[in-house]
Amino acid sequence: MSLLSRRLDPAVVVDVVVSCSVAALATWWWHQFRLGGLVYGGLVGVVLLWRRRRPLVVLGVVAALSTVVAPIEVNGTTMHEGMLLVSLAVAAYAVVAYGRTILAAVSGGVGAAVGRCQILRRHHLGRRKRGHVAGAHEVQSVPRR
């Protein structure tokens, strides 16, 4: 059978579309440093191609990449935390949808929660180091007179 006569598996097409979408979104969301967004999106997109076969490994790699990228600042900008969380959500969905056991799904959910906390913590720590003004959730209470 020749390669031209073989039909494409719809799952493969969906995987490629999801991976390309992640790369495009990352590039768009870090618009001040497109190369950084493209590198992050490309790495996460390539890893997400294996989300049906090895969902827990994919979740771990995506969480690690996102945690590493969160505090990086280039030209006064960082990767938008929404992009980091979207990538993590796609990987967490894969664990629930394609995991072999309920234990894998539960551990994936716990891993996603821990990854989300690490991403947000590192992202906000990076903002504080740069002199970011505290938000409402960061303001300490002032004693009353």
Does the pTM of the predicted model rise above 0.85?
no
Asked whether the beta carbons of 34 and 55 are under 8 A apart, the reply is: no
CB atoms within 10 A of CB 106: 13
For the chain, which residues make up each domain, given as ranges?
10-129
Q: What is the pLDDT of residue 82?
A: 82
Q: Torsion angle of alpha carbons 133, 137, 140, 141, nearest 10°?
A: 130
> Mean pLDDT, 10 residues at a time, over the chain (145 residues)?
65 88 84 83 91 89 87 80 86 87 81 77 61 48 56
Q: What is the pLDDT of residue 46?
A: 93
